[in-house]
Structure formats: structure tokens, C-alpha cells
Amino acid sequence: TVVKKAETAIKKATAKTEIHVQYAGKDVNLEDIKAGAVAASGKKNATKVELYIKPEENKAYYVINGDITGSVWI
């Protein structure tokens, strides 16, 4: 049925995704970087997290809720 096909499409679209950054023999999970950035920001209720990953610097720069900035080592 159409409803069943729509439900299946929604389930596929919301599948859990893991993103890894691999460089120089390292493998870093994006969720770990995000968690580290939120913790470093001191913001308990982050509604928006922007990450800028710079493997050549071994850092991820973050912007939390559009106004809190900083960086974490990866």
C-alpha cells in the first residue's frame, strides 16, 4: 500500500548515521567531536552546533547557538 511504502521511506530516511573523519592514520567519530565541542562551550542546551574540522591542525572549530565559539583537539 501507499501508506506502507511511505512508512518504509521515512524509516530509511531517519536511519542512524555515523560520520568518521579519517586522516594521518587517525579515525575520529563526528559525534565525539560534537560532544567535545558542546562540553567545551559550557552550553548545556545547544540547539545548533556548527563544526569546522581542520585535520591539518588536529582541531575542530565550533560555533554553538550562533554565538559561542572555540576549538577542541581531535
Model-wide pTM > 0.85: no
The whole-number pLDDT of residue 61 equals 97
User: Which one has a higher pLDDT value, 10 or 39?
Assistant: 39
Condensed to tens digits (0 to 9), the pLDDT of residues 28-72 reads: 999 999 999 999 999 888 999 999 999 999 999 999 999 999 999
Distance (Å, whole) CA 70 – CA 43: 12
Strand order in the sheet with 49-54: 49-54, 59-64, 68-73
